[in-house]
Amino acid sequence: MTPSQQLLVRDSFAKVAPIADTAAMMFYDELFERDPQLRHLFKNDMAEQRKKLMQMLAVAVEHLNDWDSISNAVRALGKRHRGYGVSPVDYDTVGAALITTLERGLGPEFTPEVREAWLACISAIAAEMLDETAA
């Protein structure tokens, strides 16, 4: 990601953070609408799951310019997700659901440049999570 993309992601995420739980609800509604079969992966309390999602995104966004500091933790998260039954194709569905959520939540502030920045961010996170060199 370029520095300007990192800034766009940080700035747009800062606008979503105050409504984190609502945004997470929107995300999971969109995710399950896109692929209802993914619902079985979430057996726990969805309120807790929404909180975890937003915390993970916050950490990723915070460390975009220092990715190496969290790359091992992101790979380990990917390893756990493989254990839950998440497949590589599911990452595309998650990414599309996140883009739609951001588009709806940010409205006209979700410009083409912001979209491209988030696509780069999502791609970086997914690539790291899919890296099977996790400790």
**Average confidence (pLDDT) over 20-39:** 95
- In angstroms, the CA 108 to CA 114 distance is 10
What pLDDT band is residue 44 in, cutting at 50, 70 and 90?
A: confident
CATH topology of domain 3-130: Globin-like (1.10.490)
Average pLDDT, rounded, for the chain: 93
pLDDT digits (tens, 9 = 90+) for 5-20: 999 999 999 999 999 9
Alpha-carbon distances, residue 4 vs 21, 51, 92, 122, 127 (angstroms) = 27, 28, 24, 16, 21
| C-alpha dihedral (23, 28, 30, 34), degrees to nearest 10 | 160
pLDDT over 60 (residue 88): yes
pLDDT over 80 (residue 134): no
Residue among 7, 9, 2, 4 at smallest CA distance from 122? 9
CB atoms within 10 A of CB 44: 9
pLDDT digits (tens, 9 = 90+) for 45-86: 899 999 999 999 999 999 999 999 999 999 999 999 998 889
pLDDT over 80 (residue 22): yes
What pLDDT band is residue 133 in, cutting at 50, 70 and 90?
A: low
- The residue with greater pLDDT, 30 or 43, is 30
Matching residue, tokens 């984190």: 20
**Average confidence (pLDDT) over 102-129:** 96
